[in-house]
Structure 1
Amino acid sequence: MSTFLDGIRFSVLDRSRTRDGEDAPQALRATVALAREVEALGYHRFWVSEHHGVPGVAGSAPTVLAAAVAAATSAIRVGTGGVMLPNHRPLVVAEQVGVLESLFPGRIDMGIGRSVGFTDGVRRALGREKDEVDRFGEQLTELLGWFTGEQTAHPRVRARPAEGLRVPPFVLATGEGAGIAAAAGLPLVIGDLRGRDRLLKSVDAYRAAFRPSPWAEEPYVVVAGTVAVAGTEAEARRLLVPEAWSLAYSRTRGEFPPLAAPDRIEGLRMTEKQRGFYEAGLDGHVHGTEEQVAGALERAVKETGAQELLVTTSTYDRAALSESYRRLARAAGLTPRPA
């Protein structure tokens, strides 16, 4: 295997996907269990996500879930991938992350995104409108100011216990996110590995516009993407089937369902439109044997100059998911942590 990946950090993002016949509590507990597994394998970070009102995703409160993950682990960094800032008041986010950092000092990351609720109903329930995303830069400045004590939006108000703490912030790039990260001098999380030309354009623009800040002296790029590893290329591609079908179903039925078994999906009669979305959902992801995946990721790192890879993999079979992360750890040359 190539040694080019030496020095590249590998991290994991888990969205707490539910499976057919499985409820949300089971999915959340499985996320915590997976965090313990990837910690032992030597991964650098474990991040959790924020989704609201999505039937197939149990992760709706990332700071709460991050607390459970951090309590169940001891060495891996834990964070949000991310908190969708337009859905929240910056003060509340600062307080929650401040509590996490106070309980688990030196292990918490603050990944911040600029998405708002996916549907009108969710946005109304959150008390937010679509145009909240246009204020992301302003909200981000306020959020960081609660940690430094320099926010001016609310004079004489202090964020406790956040003020004075140093929690690494990351901006998840959607839309204008890369430019905002560069202007704020923050690390960038960007994906996915399939749209390589667009990815490279955004990364180059981020590096060119980056302004050093108290949070980061130099640009730092985390490239996110789906990676599946198995004994054969065909087996690895099969791991992608459940998520591809969920995507196709959501695009044609308006609802993102729990993950189904590949055998059931392969026996379905899909409409032409569903088939198109399904095939598109399978294409372009990094998958294959350990050697194939190591080569593909080596190329991705060379092209993007990324310092870190954030891997997310969703599949029906949890044992196969764990095996994929084990194989990826070997392919990347990660050093297992002692028990």
Structure 2
Amino acid sequence: MALPLSILDLAHIGEGETASDSLAASVTLAQRAEEWGYQRIWYAEHHNMPTIASSATSVLIAHVAAHTRAIRLGAGGIMLPNHSPLTIAEQFGTLATLHPGRIDLGLGRAPGSDQQTMRALRRSPAAADTFPQDVLELQGYLTGESRIPGVDATPGKGTDVPLYILGSSLFGAQLAAMLGLPYAFASHFAPTSLEEAVALYRRDFKPSAQLERPYVIAGVNVIAADTKDKAEEQFLAAKRARVSLFVGRDRKFTPEEADLILESPAGRQIQQMTKYSAVGTPAEVKDYLDRFAEHAGADELIVASPATDRSAWLRSFELLADVRGLIAA
């Protein structure tokens, strides 16, 4: 039986697009994904990034939820050290109250920004140190067993919004195992520790009220197209775009300049970020994902499409759903 298949929507603002265009595209994708049979869609918290429109993550989830009927929606993730646990419990408690049984809450401890933006967020550099305690405090608000006497989340109390620990290192794996929570590994951009982290998580997992057995979600990039050449063309365009984002700080490079940078040490790091990428025809993509799921020891795959062309981006998810048998005949 095929594993559940979900989507990480990066809410990318493409060249020539506005944030409004990006958010409208996210609604369209969610509506189509619901028809195609995807399990869930997650959005990630990023700040001060001109090409990503998901900074107000809970607001985006609310908007998409209001324009869909049944698909699960959530954060992949909320960077908890940027917020008080009570605030996030109230936000996601409100979402769960408005859309019962549809809301997920993935949690990370990275800033989702640079040092200057951290200061603008009023975040202390030491905030990540209390991440485990903050997760437990947040969980208490959502289950109705507050760890802060006399303080409850309203809405939030008793909504039991399911928590997921996100990570790209052994720390997240250890925490998810200790707390008995599902673990989502960001192998779509940080592939290095995937196997070691999943093995550690499964070995040390302790059952909890939320989860009896370990549950691993692994991220992977996908560009599916009608021909392999079209998919490879989109993949190259995506890597060139990352050169502008990570090396040029949004400076525009010619294709020739970007290709030279991709062959440099800095470029090879960008290439490494895309190590786990399924690129090709639908059949080729399916075969890759089947092998990747086994390699990752995954219970669910969450796919992100780095395709820079908006129609190719949407088409990737449609072709994948079709070849994986998600689309009803």
Structure 1 length as normaliser, TM-score? 0.89
- Amino acid paired to 2:312: A
> Which of the numbers 129, 137, 141 marks the counterpart of 2:136?
141
SS of alignment partner, residue 89 of structure 2: helix
Whether 2:293 is the aligned partner of 1:308: answer: no
Residue 93 of structure 1: CA displacement? 0.3
Structure 2 unaligned blocks of 5 or more: none
Shifted more, 60-69 versus 237-246: the winner is 237-246
Q: Conserved in 1, the CA contact under 8 Å of 2:168 and 2:193?
A: no
For 1:155, the equivalent position in structure 2 comes to 149
Distance 1:151 1:35, change over 3 A: same
Residue 244 of structure 1: CA displacement? 1.5
> Which of the numbers 47, 62, 66 marks the counterpart of 1:67?
62
Cα RMSD between the aligned structures? 2.1
> Which of the numbers 117, 125, 131 marks the counterpart of 1:122?
117
Residue 313 of structure 1: CA displacement? 0.7
Residue 160 of structure 1: CA displacement? 0.7
Q: Conserved in 1, the CA contact under 8 Å of 2:45 and 2:112?
A: no
SS of alignment partner, residue 214 of structure 2: coil
- Amino acid paired to 2:298: A
User: Aligned partners of 1:265 and 1:203: how far apart in 2?
Assistant: 39
User: Aligned partners of 1:126 and 1:185: how far apart in 2?
Assistant: 30
Whether 2:83 is the aligned partner of 1:91: answer: no
User: Aligned partners of 1:271 and 1:203: how far apart in 2?
Assistant: 34
Q: Conserved in 2, the CA contact under 8 Å of 1:116 and 1:132?
A: no
SS of alignment partner, residue 47 of structure 2: coil
Shifted more, 295-304 versus 81-90: the winner is 295-304
Distance 1:324 1:64, change over 3 A: same
User: Aligned partners of 1:49 and 1:28: how far apart in 2?
Assistant: 13
SS of alignment partner, residue 59 of structure 1: coil
For 2:289, the equivalent position in structure 1 comes to 297
- Amino acid paired to 1:304: A
Distance 1:229 1:148, change over 3 A: same
Distance 1:195 1:107, change over 3 A: closer
Note the alpha carbon deviations across 1:234-260, whole angstroms, 9 max, x for none.
Answer: 22122223432232223323x357xx9
Tell which has more relative contact order, 1 or 2 (C-alpha 8 A, sep 6+): 1
Residue 303 of structure 1: CA displacement? 2.3
Residue 306 of structure 1: CA displacement? 1.1
State the aligned residue count.
324
Q: Conserved in 2, the CA contact under 8 Å of 1:252 and 1:274?
A: no
User: Aligned partners of 1:115 and 1:145: how far apart in 2?
Assistant: 22
For 1:269, the equivalent position in structure 2 comes to 257
Distance 1:155 1:206, change over 3 A: same
Q: Conserved in 2, the CA contact under 8 Å of 1:247 and 1:278?
A: no
Distance 1:228 1:271, change over 3 A: closer
For 2:9, the equivalent position in structure 1 comes to 14
Whether 2:166 is the aligned partner of 1:166: answer: no
Residue 298 of structure 1: CA displacement? 1.0
